[in-house]
Structure 1
């Protein structure tokens, strides 16, 4: 992929080129910070653990996700 782009299908999805690796990391951190601010740190942690537990055995993101 030569350039980053955003796609809206069923969900909004962001695609990053290798040249935009730093932007990818910044966006991940910003998204997490936004979610923590929206839900509060304790409820955010609860939501993450709940989603991980509910979806560990399904194909997709949570099956390979590791909480750090």
Structure 2
């Protein structure tokens, strides 16, 4: 399945996942860790271990670099 993954405020990528792919798989495919983001479907968070059932998601980064 082809899924459009929008990393909010950054970039949008097309990702292909297996039929049994999870939202964590999508996050990893765009180079992020499931521990640093929330995946949103229609504006609502979804569990990272849930199978992907939609063609478009948003990824909201919860941790972002800054000054130390």
Q: Same fold (TM over 0.5)?
A: no
The structure that is strand-richer by fraction is 2
Q: Which has the higher contact order (CA 8 A, sep 6+)?
A: 2
- State the structure with more CA Rg: 1
TM-score (norm 1): 0.24
TM-score (norm 2): 0.24
The structure that is helix-richer by fraction is 1
